[in-house]
Amino acid sequence: MAIRDDTDFTAEFDALRALSARVGGDPLLVQAAGGNTSIKRDGTLWIKASGTWLANALSDDIFVPVAMTPLLDCVEKDDPAAEKAQSFVIAAENPSGLRPSIETTVHSAMPQRIVVHVHCVDTIAVAVRREAEAILEQRLKGMNWAFVPYARPGLPLAHAIRKRLRPGIDVLVLGNHGLVVAAETVADAAALLERVCARLGQPRREAPPADEKALKDLAAGSGYRLPQMAEAHTVATDGQSCRIAAGGSLYPDHVIFLGPGSVVAGEGETAADIAAAAKAAGLPEPASILFPGKGVVMREDASAGAEALARCLADVTARMGEDARPRYLSEEENAELLDWDAEKYRQMLDSRAAAGRT
């Protein structure tokens, strides 16, 4: 459908809201406030606002209008103002005072009218592997795609995309991050998303069930409880998944919602022991703890976002086989996501190593 007038635009925007809510309601595509969608018209980019959930696209006001030309100028000049894109918001059309997503520059880099960015677990399970590009060569054969090596969301990611973008490309696989599809209409974007997800789809490895009784005993007297979603346990009940998680952080939202890496309990260690060790080291108590063979516990105050990302880790690692060679985020990449200095990050690693945990 070509957009000729306001009626057409309103219909497309409604279709985008419906697609956003559908995509946002699927935990295998989007977790918590992750992922974002956008529509462009006459130099304005309507993008999902920071902190809002795609799942609420039909009930809440989640889109914020951004003037594209000055934003693209700032990206070109590597001006930090492009990072949050706040100065390019068209205030008169933003009565709720929403702030644009940190990933606004991803959407502005794509020339197509509709852009959909998701943290699809099938895509992530490939995008976190050292051999990602070779796998994509086979799976996405015949499609107009590009692989973008990991860069921090914001300006670095915008530059990394520009380096790989060629005319006609409408699929981006973002290393250690997720998937972007773009099209002229919402219907075409939805169809493309479905096609790419089907090509990258892989079965979830069967894993033993959680031992809830043992987990409750291990969490006794601590500020920890069982996760809200039972799917989260398999990262600990499946040996391969647990080994992958123990190696470090795989993608940004994991670091932001759960902290860097995963805390895996040692033999005989309880949640209270681990919390006490963190406190003694002057560090926050971990948002989640993995008990190998038994399951996962979450800190009592874990947010809905942390719950969603705990499940995501189980969903991603269950799709990575013995032959997968994970490319973990480096110390510096973890630290910059948290706005920590690298030294604080190293202290955290040291205190975990001293406690015998990975």
Calculate the alpha carbon distances from 95 to 6, 11, 63, 64, 82 in Å. 20, 21, 11, 9, 22
Identify which of residues 140 and 172 has a Cβ nearer to Zn ion in the complex.
172
Least distance in angstroms from the C-beta of 103 to Zn ion: 5
Count of alpha carbons within 13 Å of 128, Cβ hemisphere only? 30
Calculate the alpha carbon distances from 254 to 14, 32, 61 in Å. 31, 11, 26
The contact mask relative to Zn ion for 71-110 (x = CB under 5 A, - = no) is ----------------------------------------
Single-letter code of the amino acid located at 232: A
Least distance in angstroms from the C-beta of 356 to Zn ion: 34
Identify which of residues 139 and 177 has a Cβ nearer to Zn ion in the complex.
177
Contact call for residues 86 and 72 (beta carbons, < 8 A)? no
Identify which of residues 65 and 178 has a Cβ nearer to Zn ion in the complex.
178
Spatial distance between the Cα atoms of 289 and 149, rounded to a whole number of angstroms: 29
Sheet hosting strand 263-264, strand order edge to edge: 224-225, 295-299, 288-291, 263-264
Options 174-182, 185-193, 281-289, 314-322: segment touching Zn ion (CB under 5 A): 174-182
Contact call for residues 294 and 309 (beta carbons, < 8 A)? no
Options 79-87, 141-149, 162-170, 177-185: segment touching Zn ion (CB under 5 A): 177-185
Least distance in angstroms from the C-beta of 254 to Zn ion: 12
The contact mask relative to Zn ion for 126-165 (x = CB under 5 A, - = no) is ----------------------------------------
Options 20-28, 77-85, 171-179, 210-218: segment touching Zn ion (CB under 5 A): 171-179
Identify which of residues 102 and 297 has a Cβ nearer to Zn ion in the complex.
102
Identify which of residues 178 and 295 has a Cβ nearer to Zn ion in the complex.
178
Identify which of residues 151 and 210 has a Cβ nearer to Zn ion in the complex.
151
β-strand pairing of 36-41 with 44-48: antiparallel
Spatial distance between the Cα atoms of 348 and 342, rounded to a whole number of angstroms: 10
Contact call for residues 306 and 225 (beta carbons, < 8 A)? no
Least distance in angstroms from the C-beta of 177 to Zn ion: 6
Identify which of residues 39 and 348 has a Cβ nearer to Zn ion in the complex.
39
Cβ-closest position to Zn ion: 178
Single-letter code of the amino acid located at 260: P
Least distance in angstroms from the C-beta of 169 to Zn ion: 18
Spatial distance between the Cα atoms of 264 and 348, rounded to a whole number of angstroms: 14
Single-letter code of the amino acid located at 126: V
Identify which of residues 178 and 260 has a Cβ nearer to Zn ion in the complex.
178
Identify which of residues 31 and 241 has a Cβ nearer to Zn ion in the complex.
31
Site for Zn ion in 178-217 (CB under 5 A): 178
Least distance in angstroms from the C-beta of 34 to Zn ion: 6
Least distance in angstroms from the C-beta of 149 to Zn ion: 15
Spatial distance between the Cα atoms of 56 and 58, rounded to a whole number of angstroms: 6
Spatial distance between the Cα atoms of 165 and 162, rounded to a whole number of angstroms: 5
The contact mask relative to Zn ion for 37-56 (x = CB under 5 A, - = no) is --------------------
Contact call for residues 213 and 188 (beta carbons, < 8 A)? no
Spatial distance between the Cα atoms of 257 and 83, rounded to a whole number of angstroms: 20
Least distance in angstroms from the C-beta of 252 to Zn ion: 7
Number of residues forming the site for Zn ion (CB under 5 A):
1
Token pair for 169: 């490309």
Least distance in angstroms from the C-beta of 309 to Zn ion: 12
Residues found near Zn ion in the complex (CB under 5 A): 178
